[in-house]
Amino acid sequence: MASAHTLGWEVLGFIDGYEGLLSPVNYKILTLENTQGIMPSGGTIIGTTNRGRFVAKQGLGEKALIPQPIIDEAKKTLQDLGVRALICIGGDGSLTTADQLFENGVSVVGVPKTIDNDLSATATTFGFDSAVQCVADALDRLHTTAASHKRVMVLEVMGRHAGWIALYGGLAGGADVILIPEIPFSYERLAAHVEKRMSSGAASTLIVAAEGASPMGQGVSTLEGATKGEVRLGGIGAQVAYEIGERTKRETRTVVLGHLQRGGAPTTQDRNLGTRFGVGAVQLIQEKKFGCMVSYLNYQIGAVTIKEAVGQIKHVPPDGQMVVTAKAVGINFGT
């Protein structure tokens, strides 16, 4: 915002994201005055829509083309308003839409914002660190009640196809077990590990399960009710707790962190990263590098093509350094 105003640019914010481009067109002029003081706030002051008329992702690796009439209407809105560049902020779904707009002649620049940290071509996305902090805080609190009652506690966190939040949050919060989509687990081995810990005198066992984690040979756990776009995942925490309780006869409880991970004040790291991404996006527009997304690599802000960024999901390497580190301090992955 500030860097754009320094250049004398007028900045518009389309209400509810891409939906604001369609009739009835809805936007607000963003000024230094009406954006002052928003740094400590999570979320967005202009709203967002992830299941509207611009849904461009149906599932892992599946791309749904946005109908041409919608693309054409959005382009006309931008032309009528005299918008010279569109900054699209979001994860793989939002940026897949941005890429389709770019392919249709819209001058687009992307900014990676997703708590899942699953975008390729950037080391991290803003929102991720805040989500990890939320998980670590929850584990800090669960340690108390779990140890007091000698319970097994299962904390279900977000992470559809990638387990970055579970891995980083679990390691920071002192989890005993971490279950992620990239490493299928065995209920038998998981229960055996829990029983060994508790029988050896451990006061409790804390398990962090990404919503997309799944047992060997089984699919992910889904919820009813999704009507458009990707299916809703959930329920793995309850399943894990049930199986452990049945197999070990230990008292087991489940906590689903859910959208608490998406709210609250952002961490200082995310505040700084978001600011740097914003300045980087303005620089890309200045340089007319449309169809690109700002990225963070080797502690520097750079740029990659949006197509490269959304071409594949960034998964946790099962033999990568973070997993190796977790195992070295005794964390089990249910294998």
State the 10-residue block means of pLDDT for the chain, 335 residues long.
Answer: 82 94 94 88 82 62 77 96 95 91 96 93 94 96 90 94 97 97 96 94 95 85 53 78 94 92 91 95 96 95 93 93 97 96
Distance CA 36, CA 304 (A): 30
The amino acid that residue 90 corresponds to is G
Q: What is the pLDDT of residue 312?
A: 86
Domains in the chain (CATH in brackets) are 2-126+266-310 (3.40.50.450), 130-263 (3.40.50.460)
Tell me if residue 319 is catalytic: no
Phi, psi of 193 (to 5 degrees): -65, -45
Distance CA 176, CA 127 (A): 25
The amino acid that residue 229 corresponds to is G
Q: What is the pLDDT of residue 331?
A: 97
* Gyration radius from the chain CA atoms: 22
Q: Of the listed 16, 72, 92, 116, which one is catalytic?
A: 116
Distance CA 214, CA 194 (A): 18
> Strands, E, within 15-129: which ranges?
27-30, 57-59, 62-63, 86-90, 108-112
Q: Are 95 and 112 in contact (CB under 8 A)?
A: yes
> Strands, E, within the chain: which ranges?
11-14, 27-30, 57-59, 62-63, 86-90, 108-112, 152-157, 177-179, 205-210, 252-256, 292-297, 300-305
Q: What is the pLDDT of residue 246?
A: 95
Residue from 257, 278, 263 nearest 135 by CA: 257
> Strands, E, within 148-230: which ranges?
152-157, 177-179, 205-210
Q: What is the pLDDT of residue 227?
A: 47
For residue 219, give every residue at least 6 positions away whose Cβ sits within 8 Å of its Cβ, in sequence order, or none: none
According to DSSP, the residues that pair with 173 across neighbouring strands are none
Q: What is the pLDDT of residue 102?
A: 96
Q: How many residues in total does the chain contain? A: 335
Residue from 51, 5, 68, 57 nearest 31 by CA: 5
Listed in sequence order, the DSSP H helices in 117-266 are: 128-149, 164-172, 187-199, 236-248
Q: What is the pLDDT of residue 38?
A: 87
Q: Dihedral of CA 265/278/98/61: which sign?
A: negative
Q: What is the pLDDT of residue 233?
A: 57
